[in-house]
A and B are shown apart, each in its own frame.
Chain A
Amino acid sequence: MHYELKIMKPIISLSPHVHGGDSVQKNMYGVCIALVPALIASLYFFGLGSAIVLATSVAACVFFEWAITRFILGRERLTICDGSAVLTGLLLGFNLPSNLPIWIIIIGALVAIGIGKLTFGGLGCNPFNPALVGRVFLLISFPVQMTSWPLSGQMGYVDAETGATPLALMKQAIKEGDASYLDQLPSAFDMLIGQTGGSLGEVSALCLLIGCCYMLWKKIITWHIPVSILCTVFVLAGLFHLIDPSYANPVQVILSGGLMLGACFMATDYVTSPMTGKGQLIYGCAIGVLTILIRDFGSYPEGMSFAILIMNGFTPLINTYVKPKRFGEVKK
């Protein structure tokens, strides 16, 4: 039996000849799946408003990704299938209040995809988290609309009743040095479940934690960033609380605002976080410190998105100076 190999052209390539089967899509849609519990929670608490905001945000992000790559950059290859635009849209939507006018959301999506991502060359090249770029742009441009959060349980879209969020109460307590404001805070359990005011994806810390565990289980992210952020915030907030009780107690600090969403989903963004475990710990701790500083001493009630963006800027520096431990390296 002799087979003519001349007919068959074998494929040649350098090793390895097998691949683990991981793909960009799997990772991006994996994060989207991890966001599903929080998505359900936001639909439950904010109803129609949540659905409209999220749908607009995702659709606008995907549309701008397609339109800009196709008509402005003139690329043939479709990049909307890789799931990164969907993810940006979801995360952007999660950072918005449920009664935000549609046109503002569209502007946010344009800034997130157009300026935050594609100006730098698209997926993998953006120095800052696109969803946060969009969110911060909106926060600065439309402060009134962006900071009047409807209370949870308001199913409508337009005329929802707004109220003070836990973060605003905490801020007031610090400003006036009066701990009695903190008595108005919802209980830690309510904050864990989501019975509170705030942006769409922020309210239910529990659902976000479930999503985070899913990502850890699927090995989409490593533990370094979320754990380091949450620990730093907990320790710092605890210290402040011990020194002066007009600072809120650390459990409530961790469960309030965008901290959980930021720590689990925004700071862990592949492109804009450091590459090594050590670097990720440094990055996470710095985000934690900055968040607390901005929350307690800055003029905005929430500091998570600013802290993450600032540390995004430092990521290349961390990558340059924090190297993984080489095999056999002797400590000097």
Chain B
Amino acid sequence: MNVILIAVIVLGSIGLVAALILFLAAKKFAVHEDERIGQVAEVLPQANCGGCGFPGCSGFAGACVKAADKGSLDGLLCPVGGQPVMEKVADILGMKAEASAPKVAVVRCNGTCESRPRIAEFDGAQSCRVQNMLGSGETACAFGCLGCGDCVAACQFDAIHMNPETGLPEVDEEKCTACGACSKACPRGVIEIRLKGLKNRRVVVLCNNKDKGAQTRKACSVGCIACQKCVKVCKFEAITVDANLAYIDAEKCKLCRKCEEECPQNAIHAFNFPPRKPKVENVEPAKEQEA
């Protein structure tokens, strides 16, 4: 009996002392946090992808609360949750969310194994950033995809994968949240976060080569040679050539696909369009928009 009593008393008092210490520590080291941060963080996707530019979702929530106190949520966007999540956040903070169009990651390089011959063999840590330190890398193109998959490793959503046949990454549009992690991981800036476009249809220059035309042609058979033909054919002034590289402004582009036909290098690609019917020329842009 005595033994049991002693055990109970000893254990009980240890428990009491420990509880007291915990209580005091909790009081002393308590961190005051704005309640709204927790509330905002709850509606966020909790992927902690960092796509918003803040360290994780709680960081983003903190930034939202701060911005709300200043009076505007401008420039803050959770790329993963997109508009619906931002509306919820705005609700909690009593603000209005700005509307923004959905985006997707686009790999602006079409230098497959066939179109872009390998001139050297890379041997080292399988990382694009390492290969990028070796000048143009395995191919003669100093701007195109390096093919080591830094973007694949950076993606939190399993939305980008290497295609072993082409040696290029492919984006799974369903899964892609346009968080931009792949774009940041790419040492050559090949991946662009681009407007998804009407019905997911996009016309994109699949090249990032800023060398002169002759040099580009040597390095890759589908590179942009800055011949300006697409600029001339575009009625909407959506295409500009800067530093020997054509770029289609997604906001101005009316998806007429004329440039795609015009490009002598086949560097311009149209995504998610229905297959062209032979002999029927030029889908009219107006119709496209109605549909």
- Bound Cα distance A142, B122 (Å): 55
Q: Which of B221-265 contact A (CB under 8 A)?
A: none
Q: How many residues of A contact B (CB 8 A)?
A: 7
> How close is B141's CB to chain A, nearest CB, in angstroms?
14
Contacts of A14 in B (CB 8 A): 124, 130, 133-134
Quick check: is B118 within 8 A (CB to CB) of the other chain? yes
Q: Which of B119, B121, B138 contacts A6 (CB 8 A)?
A: B119
Q: Which of B121, B130, B133, B137 contacts A10 (CB 8 A)?
A: B121
**Chain B at the A interface: SS class:** loop
> How close is B220's CB to chain A, nearest CB, in angstroms?
15
> How close is A18's CB to chain B, nearest CB, in angstroms?
13
- Bound Cα distance A14, B138 (Å): 13
A12 touches B133 (CB 8 A): no
* Chain A residue at minimum C-beta to C-beta distance from B134: A12
Chain B: number of interface residues, binned into ranges: 10 to 19
A9 touches B134 (CB 8 A): no
Taking each of B121, B130, B138, which has the highest tally of chain A beta carbons within 10 Å of its own beta carbon?
B121
* Chain B residue at minimum C-beta to C-beta distance from A6: B119
Quick check: is A330 within 8 A (CB to CB) of the other chain? no
Quick check: is A13 within 8 A (CB to CB) of the other chain? yes
A11 touches B120 (CB 8 A): yes
* Chain B residue at minimum C-beta to C-beta distance from A17: B123
Contacts of B124 in A (CB 8 A): 13-14
A-B contact count (CB 8 A): 26
A10 touches B134 (CB 8 A): no
A12 touches B122 (CB 8 A): yes
* Chain A residue at minimum C-beta to C-beta distance from B131: A12
A9 touches B130 (CB 8 A): no
Q: Which of B102-122 contact A (CB under 8 A)?
A: 118-122
- Bound Cα distance A9, B139 (Å): 10
B134 touches A11 (CB 8 A): no
A11 touches B121 (CB 8 A): yes
Contacts of A9 in B (CB 8 A): 118-121
Contacts of B123 in A (CB 8 A): 11-13
Contacts of B118 in A (CB 8 A): 9
26 A-B contact pairs sorted by A residue (CB < 8 Å): A6-B119, A9-B118, A9-B119, A9-B120, A9-B121, A10-B120, A10-B121, A11-B120, A11-B121, A11-B122, A11-B123, A12-B120, A12-B121, A12-B122, A12-B123, A12-B134, A12-B137, A12-B138, A13-B122, A13-B123, A13-B124, A13-B134, A14-B124, A14-B130, A14-B133, A14-B134
Instruction: Enumerate chain A interface residues (CB-CB to B < 8 A).
Output: 6, 9-14
Rank and list the top 8 A-B pairs by shortest CB-CB distance, nearest first. Answer: A13-B124, A13-B123, A12-B120, A11-B121, A9-B121, A12-B134, A11-B123, A10-B120
Instruction: Enumerate chain B interface residues (CB-CB to A < 8 A).
Output: 118-124, 130, 133-134, 137-138
Give me 15 other A-B pairs in contact (C-beta within 8 A), A10-B121, A12-B120, A12-B134 excluded.
A6-B119, A9-B118, A9-B120, A10-B120, A11-B121, A11-B122, A11-B123, A12-B121, A12-B122, A12-B123, A13-B122, A13-B124, A14-B130, A14-B133, A14-B134
